[in-house]
Chain A
Amino acid sequence: MAMTLTEKILARAAGQRVVGPGDNVWVEVDILLTHDVCGPGTIGVFQREFGKMAKVWDPSKVVIIPDHYIFTADEKAHRNVDTLRDFATYQKLAYFYDPGTPTYKGVCHVALPQTGHVRPGEVIFGTDSHTCTHGALGAFATGIGNTDAGFIMGAGKLLIKVPKTMRFTVNGTVPPYLMGKDIILKIIGDIGFDGASYCAMEFTGSAIRQLSIEERMTICNMAIEAGAKNGIIEPDEITFEYVKAHTSKPFEAVYGDADAPVESERTYEASTLEPCVAEPHVPSNFALARERNDVKLDRSYIGSCTGGKITDFLAAARILKGHKVAIPTFLVPATVEVAEDIIKSEIDGKSLIEIFAEAGCEDIAPPSCAACLGGPEDTFGRTSGTEAVISTTNRNFPGRMGSKQSRIYLASPLTAAASAIRGRITDPREFM
């Protein structure tokens, strides 16, 4: 029987020749990812259920990347990182990226592929809804709660339902003003905030194949914003080049069957898509940037797992070069590697650091989730009043960045940068 990419990966992980949508199967887990916000609770469940001294099923497959509440004075946040550190030491975990040490990475969904833990064809579960990011490298990846994660810690497997696949084909050439963020916001706008509930969102087509891994990650990252179980892109040469540059571990790529039945299909032409925003307070609240020039802004924010990669900062710098921002502009690289790349990267002989400084951006913050999800009150960039923020993050829920009264407009880094210059929502083509 013909199977989609997601079905094929799950069939292999379940040790079955065939699986179909709706089948409940036990799958073997390749990587369990957790962080400081859900890790301590997961460890609590694991120890309660398997025993205080129990050992995890495989210490090389539990990856802990603290990232949420790192640069804060909050005592419980520090206690939680201490809990992770003690656990990692006792369990002899091979991969614990410890804050305050040279192993610290930053935002888990950018760090996970950068540290070589994402490989095509594998099954990744994480205690974070944006774990779906890793489908960008041809893996099955989805978010789970602490209890399921505690089960995996002890058993190395999980019972899951095989999702139906919704296929999104984006054809044509990606114009220079269009980014992965614009593509996924358009799709979510079309199908709705719960338009892919319980489904796999598979992205394909010539435009998707032109995108870098980072841009593909932006798209898969936001599959959850349509309620999807996973987002996924078939691996290709761009994938293999990225993966091989980050790990020497072997992997076996999986490809879907061309004749596999899917739940639905939608096709887009990249050249007809335009820079856009998602208006408050749901990511499906689509609007074209050029039709929202009247929206005045108080702040621009570039960061997070979906919008804080080096490609995002390069895009922002392309727009900001030679201009001044009109509103406070916050830059939060997702990981230490991104922060280092910002220092190393240049546009026309000028470093990104110089471009951002000359544009009048705030000093670049240390890598973490920062204000993407509000967090403790001393979190960098957190909103505290009625701010209107244009942000490269993935959620614009009420109170998401801190204050319930603030309004968040989601956008690509090109649009966030152009809007920072004008102080109102601006189509980046005005500066290209």
Chain B
Amino acid sequence: MKTIQGTVYVVRDDIDTDQIIPAQYLNLVPTIPEEYAKLGSYALCGLPDGYPPFVKPGALTADYPILIAGRNFGCGSSREHAPVCLGAAGVKAVVAESYARIFFRNCVSTGELYPFETPIRLCDVFKTGDRAEIDVGGAHLTNCTTGKTYSIKELGAVAPVVEAGGIFAYARKSGIIK
């Protein structure tokens, strides 16, 4: 099964959907391709001052395919713009201690990114800029910068849905719908 590699960006607890995508950008419609791309450019721009910019000014995508987070990532709104903007910015996976329910489900139904959970508080041991590799099938995450490996929870039935590109794509691929 696949691996996801790249530079990580680290956030802490209770990152809500207004921080992921501030409401002023919800006038963009995710199913319109150019607005999907534009959403990526605003990903995580609502983080408080003190965080480095996630997407560089003028860029449409970020240099961080892996997000490391604390508890309750994606809390707040049901806006699908939240996982969509992260996916559009090039994020392939979030590894968090826990998720808000609607955000987790929106990650899966859209297939935008893998929402991995881990019992370890990785936001304390990873630093933004570290290199990491996720073994999706083996359910572990390696910090290539420090050489340490951490276990993550298996996604079970969720993984093939994300892999297929979301709930509709998965349902067609597996013959659930035509």
Contact = CB atoms under 8 A, between A and B. Distances in A.
Contacts of A151: 109, 167-168
Interface of B is mostly: loop
A404 B30 CA distance: 24
Contacts of B149: none
A74 to B, nearest CB: 6
A148 B75 CA distance: 18
Interface string B83-122: 1000000000000001011100110011000000000000
B78 interface: yes
B143 to A, nearest CB: 26
B30 A193 contact: no
Nearest to A379: B24
B125 interface: no
A127 B78 contact: yes
A145 B75 contact: no
Contacts of B22: 374, 399
Contacts, number: 134
A146 B18 contact: no
A398 B46 contact: yes
Nearest to B172: A49
Interface string A114-150: 0000000000001111010000000000011111100
B144 interface: no
A363 to B, nearest CB: 24
A194 B78 contact: no
Contacts of B102: 129, 143-145
Contacts of B168: 45, 49, 147, 151
Interface string B38-81: 00000000111100000000000000000000011001111111
Interface of A is mostly: loop
Nearest to B97: A194
Given A147-B168, A194-B75, A376-B27, A227 B101 contact: yes
Contacts of A286: none
Given A147-B110, A151-B168, A374 B24 contact: yes
A105 interface: no
B71 A145 contact: no
A398 B50 CA distance: 13
Contacts of A374: 18, 22-24
Given A151-B167, A151-B168, A399 B106 contact: no
A40 interface: yes
Nearest to B103: A145
B42 to A, nearest CB: 12
B7 to A, nearest CB: 25
Contacts of A254: none
Interface string B138-171: 0000000000000000000000000000111000
A397 to B, nearest CB: 4
Interface in A358-383: 373-377
Contacts of A395: 16, 18, 76
A287 interface: no
Interface in A189-247: 193-194, 197-198, 224, 227, 229
B1 interface: no
Contacts of B47: 398
A64 to B, nearest CB: 15
A400 B16 CA distance: 10
A397 B76 CA distance: 9
A146 B101 contact: no
Contacts of A49: 168
Interface string B15-36: 0101100111011111110000
Given A129-B77, A144-B102, A194 B71 contact: yes
A93 interface: no
Nearest to A39: B29
B14 interface: yes
Nearest to A398: B48
B19 A373 contact: no
Nearest to A45: B31
A314 interface: no
Contact of B101 (A45, A229, A398): A229
Contacts of A405: 49
Given A194-B98, A197-B100, A197-B101, A145 B106 contact: yes
A404 B48 contact: yes
Given A38-B80, A45-B168, A48-B31, 19 more contacts: A41-B29, A44-B29, A68-B23, A68-B26, A128-B78, A143-B78, A143-B102, A144-B102, A145-B105, A145-B106, A148-B105, A194-B72, A194-B75, A198-B101, A395-B18, A398-B48, A399-B46, A400-B18, A405-B49
Per CB-CB distance, the 9 closest pairs between chain A and chain B, nearest first, are A44-B31, A143-B78, A145-B80, A145-B106, A76-B27, A147-B109, A194-B72, A373-B23, A129-B78
18 contacts: A40-B31, A44-B32, A45-B168, A49-B168, A68-B23, A76-B27, A143-B77, A145-B110, A151-B109, A193-B14, A193-B75, A194-B75, A197-B72, A227-B75, A227-B101, A373-B18, A395-B16, A398-B47
